[in-house]
Amino acid sequence: MLCAAWLAAVLRAVPVCAQEQTPQGDPVVVVIDPGHGGENLGGEYEDYTEKEMTLVVAKAMKEELEKYEGVTVYMTRTGDEELSLDERCAYAESVGADFMFCLHFNMSGEHTLFGAECWVSAFGEYYSKGYGFASIEIDMLQELGLYSRGIKTRLNDRGSDYYGIINHSVERGLPCVLIEHCHLDQANDQPFYDHDEKLKAFGRLDATAAAKYFGLRSEALGVDYSDYETVSVPVPSGVMRPDQTEPDVCMIDVTEQNMQNGEVTVEVSAADYDSGMLYYTYSYDNGETFSALQKWPDREADTFRFTMQVPPHIVPQIMVNAYNGYDLYTTSNMVSLPSMDYKTAEELAAELALKEAQESASDDVTQGDIPADAALGNQTKRQREAVLREVAQDENEEQTVSFAYFLGVCLVCALLVLGMAVSMILILWGRRRRRRRRRRHRSSGRS
Ligand SMILES: [Zn+2]
């Protein structure tokens, strides 16, 4: 099968001077077509609306391209007008256009795809001219930092060019390229369009690519592309069909498993002989979930290694999806690994925090700055001391009472003894008096 990506590799080897494409003296007529407009908004995502973005890019492209000599530039719309695809092509034909550049921004259903791509006609000289310009454009978008999704063709069910603007241009004998600058719904691409100045930079880039393609020069800009070497794209004999099959092969092998930190190194071998490799995604749960799309590290190489992070406490079941230039993928074999019970950074941090809290608590018991648990212990201790104090007080009181009782008893005993002693004295004294009286009676009776 004839394939755009395969051809690109071959074409790099045969550069040709831009001057050969634009004979000296013939002014080039360029039509810029800002995609969408009016009710036709194009892609919409967050604050971004495609019809507005394409108009900013188109105006900047026209302004920049008009700084070159030997070129006349038109736009299919300069405001928010709605035009059919055929009306745009009819306008381009009416002004005698040599080429039409259709400016767009892309979106994907799952918001996963990222990068820039160019669509060209699959037929004859429209293919070779389109591809010639697109290879310059894509190279420049890559230099800007965007990921290249390639230069591609697409056909509808009837076997004609799928994109209406390309189809109608070809019908009117007009070469045309559809530029999808990048994806307006993807974080990887967002830094390239998040400001009007960046959209204008896209416009200047598009103008420079066109100037290089036509071999233009600009005194105002101080540049001369009349000797610029473009790739020579032979007019294909057949239809340049899109790739409709998944990658031919995708195999993986695990080369390293780090049990301490969960890193797993995987070797991927994948190839697509039609449109080449574009992205890959990986899974550690047997394909239940996959990572975000990753750039294919080297588009010329079929084999590469990458390291993925596997979470702990699972049995890793590794697999990879490898995507070709048309976003079709092949799933690899699955590699099952021993479970890795390492601790994550979060788990280690939580453990450390707990240990520190415990150490701090034991310090506070001695230092007096009391965390909750220690405070509870101290409170109990204080209560116990209070109870002990109360018991001691009670004991003291009891001792005082016993002593007073003892003193009382002693006093009573002493009084009893004293009473008895007094009684004895009185009795004895009474007896002596009676004896004396009897003696006196006897002595008076004798006398
Ligand atoms: Zn569009």
Q: Which domains does the chain have, with CATH numbers?
A: 4-231 (3.40.630.40), 249-336 (2.60.40.1930)
Query: What pLDDT is recorded for position 108?
Result: 96
Which residues crowd ion ligand 1, with CB under 5 Å? 35, 42, 104
Query: What pLDDT is recorded for position 404?
Result: 67
Query: What pLDDT is recorded for position 394?
Result: 53
Amino acid at 54: T
Determine the distance separating the centroid of ligand 1 and the alpha carbon of 176, expressed in angstroms. Answer: 15
Query: What pLDDT is recorded for position 8?
Result: 46
Cβ neighbour number for residue 25 with a 10 Å cutoff: 6
- Nearest one of 183, 187, 122, 120 to 150, comparing CA atoms: 120
Determine the distance separating the centroid of ligand 1 and the alpha carbon of 284, expressed in angstroms. Answer: 36
Determine the distance separating the centroid of ligand 1 and the alpha carbon of 241, expressed in angstroms. Answer: 22
Determine the distance separating the centroid of ligand 1 and the alpha carbon of 181, expressed in angstroms. Answer: 10
Residues 59-69, buried b or exposed e (16+ Cβ, 10 A)? bbbbebbebbe
Determine the distance separating the centroid of ligand 1 and the alpha carbon of 364, expressed in angstroms. Answer: 68
Query: What pLDDT is recorded for position 440?
Result: 65
3-state SS track over the chain? CCCHHHHHHHHCCCEEEHHHCCCCCCCEEEEEEECCECCECCCEECCEEHHHHHHHHHHHHHHHHCCCCCEEEEECCCCCCCCCHHHHHHHHHHCCCCEEEEEEEECCCCCCCCCEEEEECCCHHHHHHHHHHHHHHHHHHHHHCCCEEEEECCECCCCCECCHHHHHHHHCCCCEEEEEEEECCCCCCHHHCCCHHHHHHHHHHHHHHHHHHHCCEECCCCEECCCCEEECCCCCCCCCCCCCCCCCEEEEEEEEECCCCCEEEEEEEEECCCCCEEEEEEECECCCCCCCCEECCCCCCCEEEEEEECCCCCCCEEEEEEEECCCCEEECCCEECCCCCCCCHHHHHHHHHHHHHHHHHHHHHHHCCCCHHHHHHHHHHHHHHHHHHHHHHHHHHHHHHHHHHHHHHHHHHHHHHHHHHHHHHHHHHHHHHHHHHHHHHHHHHHC
Determine the distance separating the centroid of ligand 1 and the alpha carbon of 294, expressed in angstroms. Answer: 24
Determine the distance separating the centroid of ligand 1 and the alpha carbon of 406, expressed in angstroms. Answer: 115
Determine the distance separating the centroid of ligand 1 and the alpha carbon of 435, expressed in angstroms. Answer: 158
Q: State pTM to two decimals.
A: 0.75
Is 292 within 8 Å of 113 (Cβ atoms)? no
Determine the distance separating the centroid of ligand 1 and the alpha carbon of 83, expressed in angstroms. Answer: 13
Determine the distance separating the centroid of ligand 1 and the alpha carbon of 413, expressed in angstroms. Answer: 125
Determine the distance separating the centroid of ligand 1 and the alpha carbon of 412, expressed in angstroms. Answer: 123
Query: What pLDDT is recorded for position 346?
Result: 84
Query: What pLDDT is recorded for position 248?
Result: 95
Query: What pLDDT is recorded for position 385?
Result: 55
Query: What pLDDT is recorded for position 432?
Result: 79
In a structure prediction context, what are the per-residue pLDDT tens digits for the chain, which is 447 residues long? 444 444 444 444 345 555 444 455 679 999 999 999 999 999 999 999 999 999 999 999 999 999 999 999 999 999 999 999 999 999 999 999 999 999 999 999 999 999 999 999 999 999 999 999 999 999 999 999 999 999 999 999 999 999 999 999 999 999 999 999 999 999 999 999 999 999 999 999 999 999 999 999 999 999 999 999 988 899 999 999 999 999 999 999 999 999 988 999 999 999 999 999 999 999 999 999 999 999 999 989 999 999 999 999 899 999 999 999 999 999 999 999 999 888 888 888 998 999 999 988 877 655 544 444 444 444 445 555 554 465 456 555 556 556 666 677 778 768 887 878 877 888 887 787 777 777 666 555 443
Q: Alpha-carbon distance 139 to 141, whole Å?
A: 6
Determine the distance separating the centroid of ligand 1 and the alpha carbon of 73, expressed in angstroms. Answer: 21
Question: 129: which 2 tokens?
Answer: 């001219």
Determine the distance separating the centroid of ligand 1 and the alpha carbon of 20, expressed in angstroms. Answer: 32
Determine the distance separating the centroid of ligand 1 and the alpha carbon of 34, expressed in angstroms. Answer: 9
Determine the distance separating the centroid of ligand 1 and the alpha carbon of 120, expressed in angstroms. Answer: 15
Determine the distance separating the centroid of ligand 1 and the alpha carbon of 49, expressed in angstroms. Answer: 10
Determine the distance separating the centroid of ligand 1 and the alpha carbon of 35, expressed in angstroms. Answer: 5
